[in-house]
Structure 1
Amino acid sequence: MGVATSQQISKYYDLYRSIDVTFTKEVIRATGLGTQQVYLKCIGETWPCVIHSSSFEGAKVIVNAKSGLYARIQQANNLVSLRYSFKISDKTDPLMFFVSGRVLGFSPYGGSSDMAMLTMQFTQRPPDDLIEIMGRLLDANMNSTKRREERILLTPEALRKLQIISKETAIFIQGVPRRCILRDISFSGAKIIMIGVAKFLMDKTAALRIDFEDPREAILLKGRIVRSEDVEGRKDLVALALHYEETQVPMNYKMRINDFLSQVRADSRANPSTEQNETANK
């Protein structure tokens, strides 16, 4: 996780403060939420819980309805604290903090009398760490639509900033692995160069693998080959445009692309030629 400036954190808070993020498996993986270290605290006692969703103004958590938590919350005048825990890629220990809130109510969950959904409203602005972690995700999700056509030219500098291990990678065309070279990428697609004949590759389903560092992960991007171009001076090579399947683009990929574009935009304020050199419109 990069270090966000106070200005970025304020922007995240102002833009996204009331938006609820549901903690699906993908969101848990992208944010690094440590589900086993999350709990509610009330008058000195702790209760395990599952965070269902959270905004910067409140959260919904799933609790055991028969644990005695209800009575304890009533004793505390509905005041509780929710502990968040996140695994940060470059840190050994997890990032943990409490957010204080007031319980607004309970409702049955999943048709079970044993489980309940607890809704809490934060009584103060949450820590900057929570705003940064969730703000990065929300910002990436918004910009994946707003800036979807901005291509990132994969220069050595761009590769370093994106933490892509190598331009040489693999694309699986209808399940068959083929070696290729990355040329540019965006929220919505990629351009690659490989050995092949365009007419036999057009409109084929494909999955592009990109290997990243910090954290080390291989991201698979599914889509369809929609366009081809000749490679000057190389009749054996073809340049192919892959358009991603929009609903299957991993959140981790969106966040990496958005972090890069945000960094380029910040750098361009100091050097106006930077953004033009590192990105282009399709």
Structure 2
Amino acid sequence: MSIATSQQLTKYYDTFRTIAVTYTKEVVRSTGLQPQSVFLKCLGEQWPCVIYSSSFDEAKVLAPNKQALMERITKANGLVSVRLAFKLSDASDPVLFFVSGKVNGFSPYAQSNGSLQFISLQFTQRPPDDFVEIMGRLLEANVNSARRSDNRILLTPDAIRTIGLARKESTVLIDGVPRRCILRDLSFSGAKVIIVGLAKFLVGKPCVLRIDLDDPRETVAIAGSVVRYEDVEGRKDLTAIAVKYNDGTIPMSYKMHINDYLGQKKNQSDDEQAPSAPSKAR
């Protein structure tokens, strides 16, 4: 994961401060959250809990419904902290930190027969930068996947490295038949790949494109359909086909890889356009 600047962190915080994220399995996997290392701390004692949702202002956790915990929360006037842990791809050890807050509500968790409860808390200070960066990347990728859905990225060696692609060589399953392919360009909403043979009769067929990613290493499979084809100049044996992904099937981790690339290119463009300081008169 690239390191965000203080300016980028401030942008994440100000833009997404009140937007709550529910920790689905996909969000947990994409952020690297370590569920077994999440605890609610009050007056020096910790209880294992599940973080259900959070924004940069508040959180909701699923915690034990125990008298000892309730007594401590009362004694502490509701002041608690949540310990979070995230495994980042470029670090050998998880990133651990506490977020301070004040309890502002309890509600039963019906499926636990009274053994668990939801605890809502309001953060009493801005969360640590690591948390703002991790969740900010995810939120920004989700917004930009709609706003910049058709921005195509030609897969040059630099783009492959910046996106975090393991390789250009891949496989696309078209109408149930696997075909080897080479990735030519990617976007939030689709891809262009090169295959061997004619593609005229593939237009409109359902497909699944497999893409190998690095940092972290994983293979995503994205469902879509072939929407058009075109010849490859100088190669009669090859055809380029355009794949449009099905809405709702695009993995969050893929969105984050694409967004990281577009963000880096935007920062580079801004740096190039920034006026240089005038030289002093001699």
Compute the TM-score of the two structures, normalised by the length of structure 2.
0.93
**2:92 is the counterpart of 1:102:** no
Aligned residue runs from structure 1 range 150-169, under 5 A? 150-169=151-170
What is the rounded CA distance, in whole Å, between the counterparts of 1:2 and 1:237 in structure 2? 36
**One-letter amino acid of the structure 1 residue matched with residue 226 of structure 2:** I
What is the rounded CA distance, in whole Å, between the counterparts of 2:61 and 2:176 in structure 1? 40
CA shift for structure 1 position 170: 0.9
Q: Secondary structure at the match of 1:121?
A: strand
Q: Secondary structure at the match of 2:90?
A: coil
Partner of 1:7 in structure 2?
Answer: 7
**One-letter amino acid of the structure 2 residue matched with residue 76 of structure 1:** A
Partner of 2:254 in structure 1?
Answer: 253
What is the rounded CA distance, in whole Å, between the counterparts of 2:271 and 2:7 in structure 1? 16
Partner of 1:46 in structure 2?
Answer: 46
CA shift for structure 1 position 161: 1.1
**One-letter amino acid of the structure 2 residue matched with residue 105 of structure 1:** G
Q: Secondary structure at the match of 2:74?
A: helix
What is the rounded CA distance, in whole Å, between the counterparts of 2:67 and 2:33 in structure 1? 24
Deviations 1:165-189 (Å, cap 9, x if unpaired)? Answer: 2212111112321111111000000
Partner of 1:116 in structure 2?
Answer: 117
What is the rounded CA distance, in whole Å, between the counterparts of 2:231 and 2:58 in structure 1? 54
Partner of 2:22 in structure 1?
Answer: 22
**One-letter amino acid of the structure 2 residue matched with residue 256 of structure 1:** H
163-172 vs 83-92, greater mean Cα deviation = 163-172
245-254 vs 233-242, greater mean Cα deviation = 233-242
Q: Secondary structure at the match of 1:241?
A: strand
13-22 vs 112-121, greater mean Cα deviation = 112-121
**One-letter amino acid of the structure 1 residue matched with residue 102 of structure 2:** R
CA shift for structure 1 position 262: 0.3
Q: Secondary structure at the match of 1:248?
A: coil
**2:62 is the counterpart of 1:62:** yes
What is the rounded CA distance, in whole Å, between the counterparts of 1:271 and 1:116 in structure 2? 53
Aligned residue runs from structure 1 range 83-94, under 5 A? 83-94=83-94
Deviations 1:175-232 (Å, cap 9, x if unpaired)? Answer: 3211111110000000011013223211111111111222211121111111111222
**2:216 is the counterpart of 1:208:** no
Partner of 1:145 in structure 2?
Answer: 146
Give the number of equivalent residue pairs.
272
CA shift for structure 1 position 96: 0.4
CA shift for structure 1 position 235: 2.7
What is the rounded CA distance, in whole Å, between the counterparts of 1:136 and 1:249 in structure 2? 16
What is the rounded CA distance, in whole Å, between the counterparts of 1:104 and 1:45 in structure 2? 19
Query: Cα gap change, 1:67/1:207 in structure 2, threshold over 3 Å: closer, same or farther?
Result: farther
**2:220 is the counterpart of 1:219:** yes
What is the rounded CA distance, in whole Å, between the counterparts of 2:87 and 2:176 in structure 1? 33
What is the rounded CA distance, in whole Å, between the counterparts of 2:272 and 2:154 in structure 1? 18
Q: Secondary structure at the match of 1:2?
A: coil
**2:222 is the counterpart of 1:242:** no
**2:200 is the counterpart of 1:182:** no
What is the rounded CA distance, in whole Å, between the counterparts of 1:50 and 1:105 in structure 2? 16
Partner of 1:280 in structure 2?
Answer: none
What is the rounded CA distance, in whole Å, between the counterparts of 2:141 and 2:79 in structure 1? 33
199-208 vs 181-190, greater mean Cα deviation = 199-208
CA shift for structure 1 position 90: 1.4
**One-letter amino acid of the structure 2 residue matched with residue 30 of structure 1:** S
What is the rounded CA distance, in whole Å, between the counterparts of 1:227 and 1:71 in structure 2? 65
What is the rounded CA distance, in whole Å, between the counterparts of 1:115 and 1:128 in structure 2? 30
Q: Percentage identity across aligned positions? A: 58
**One-letter amino acid of the structure 2 residue matched with residue 83 of structure 1:** R
What is the rounded CA distance, in whole Å, between the counterparts of 1:63 and 1:153 in structure 2? 47
What is the rounded CA distance, in whole Å, between the counterparts of 2:229 and 2:110 in structure 1? 49
Structure 1 consecutive aligned stretches of length 4 or more whose deviation exceeds 6 Å: none
**RMSD of the alignment, in Å?**
1.2
**One-letter amino acid of the structure 1 residue matched with residue 24 of structure 2:** T
Q: Secondary structure at the match of 2:105?
A: strand
